[in-house]
Amino acid sequence: MTLIPLAGLFQLEQNIPLALAIVVFSSFGFAAGATIQHLAVSKNTYGTAESPSMSMREFFGLLKNRTWLIGTGTIIVGATLHAVGLALAPVTVVQPVGILAVPWAVLLAAKLHGYRPTKLIWFAVALTIIGIVSFTYFSATTAAKETELNFWKIVIGVLVVFSIGALLAYLGMTGKGFRRCLLLASAGSFYYGMSPTMLKTLFEVLGKDHYWTDPLLYVGLFFLLTCYGVGGWMLQQAYANGPAEIVVGSMTTTDPIVAVGFGIAVLGEGALLGVSDAFGMLVTGAIAIGGVVILSKYHPDAQARRDAAQAASLAAKGSEPAEPVVEPTA
């Protein structure tokens, strides 16, 4: 058996079948936790009907909500199982399995809300899964074995990613309709996408002698906490504006794309990346993102919100509400 060192602290024997089984349960835990959190958030009204927005007071108020805490606990269990899976098998084997959270979330939401997913919804789910698994294939087969730890390169890279996430959050908070939920979820995913790279950086630092003298240890820890704190707040805003499936779909798509992109550009993991591989990653990444966009636009919840907004707008003008506009479905 091959031994896999974990941060230089202890070793576990590699067991790929067990790792895959654990991560399947992990993906279900994440989907279930996200669905439960969405149930807690969606019961309240935030801001206006067209542009729901959760204040910091309302966000911290969730800490007293039993349903939300159960969802958070379920997500933590899923994340812990995922970490165990990563300790038992290579990341290239484990990471693609996380995309199973998307169909899990669709099935759970359909059961809870009593609707039947359309063919178009399943097409969007399939497109997302195919895109991100293919993207992971290109990134995994060209990944360099050595990780480069350049302090200023990492700091600048993280700040660039955080800035993009902040821009997406601004566009989401000022937007309306399904785009608001999608942009807020994508913003949170940009921050969450940095968490595995920060964990990897910390593990690399902890594997060194006299690691406590390395400033990257403390900077990396600060960035990691920021990823979880700011990313978590943005995802709750997304829950207030749309269904859990859109949030889960955005996370399981954007998260690995951001992580892989950071690894290639900052951590030196793209040393073996060729032009054809880079092109393949661009195409498959675009396919995965397209699947999430379709899911967010044609989801029944998004349709209901558009109809409600249209009715409210007509009522404000003193007109009778028109018949709901039916989006094309497959």
Digit-coded pLDDT (tens) for 227-259: 989 998 898 888 888 777 788 878 877 877 887
Question: What are 273's two structure tokens?
Answer: 């990346």
Mean pLDDT calculated for residue range 218-231? 92
- How much is the pLDDT for 49? 53
Q: Which residues touch 119 (CB under 8 Å, ≥6 apart)?
A: 329, 330
Centroid of chain to Cα 213: 33
State how far the Cα of 70 lies from the Cα of 36, in Å rounded to an integer.
Answer: 7
The letter for the amino acid at 273 is L
Separation between Cα atoms, residue 297 and residue 44, nearest integer Å? 22
Q: Tens digit of pLDDT for each residue in 53-107?
A: 677 788 888 888 899 999 999 989 988 888 777 667 655 566 667 777 878 888 8
CB 53 within 8 A of CB 312: no
Residue 3: which pLDDT band, with cuts at 50, 70 and 90? very low
**23 near 104, Cβ under 8 Å?**
no
Q: Can you tell me whether residue 3 is helix, strand or coil? A: strand
Two tokens, residue 96: 């693609």
Cα-based angle 59, 60, 62 (whole degrees, multiple of 5): 75
Tokens encoding 68: 């939300």
DSSP class of residue 12?
E
Selection from 144, 169, 98, 94 nearest residue 265 by Cα: 144
DSSP characters over 199-262: HHHHHHHHTSTTGGG-HHHHHHHHHHHHHHHHHHHHHHHHHTTS-HHHHHHHHHHHHHHHHHHH
Q: Is the pLDDT of residue 176 over 60?
A: yes
Q: Which residues of 85-113 are buried (b: 16+ CB within 10 A; e: fewer)?
A: bbbbbebebbbbbbbbbbbbbbbbbeeee
CA–CA distance, 67 with 40 (Å, rounded to integer) = 6
Mean pLDDT for 195-201 is 80
Residue where the block lists tokens 């968490």: 195
Secondary structure (3-state) at 47: coil
- pTM beyond 0.75: the answer is no
Pair 243, 97: CB distance under 8 Å: no
Q: How confident is the model at residue 161, as a pLDDT? A: 94
Phi-psi region of 274 (alpha: psi -120 to 50; beta: other; left: phi over 0): beta
Per-residue pLDDT for 6 more than 50? Answer: no
pLDDT band at 155 (very low <50, low <70, confident <90, very high): very high
Point out which residues pair with 10 in neighbouring strands: 6
List Cβ<8 Å contacts ≥24 apart for 6-13: 6/87, 6/203, 7/202, 7/203, 7/206, 7/207, 8/206, 8/207, 8/208, 9/206, 12/87, 12/88, 13/88
Q: How are beta strands 3-6 and 10-13 bridged, if at all? A: antiparallel
Closest CA to 302 of 46, 41, 121: 121
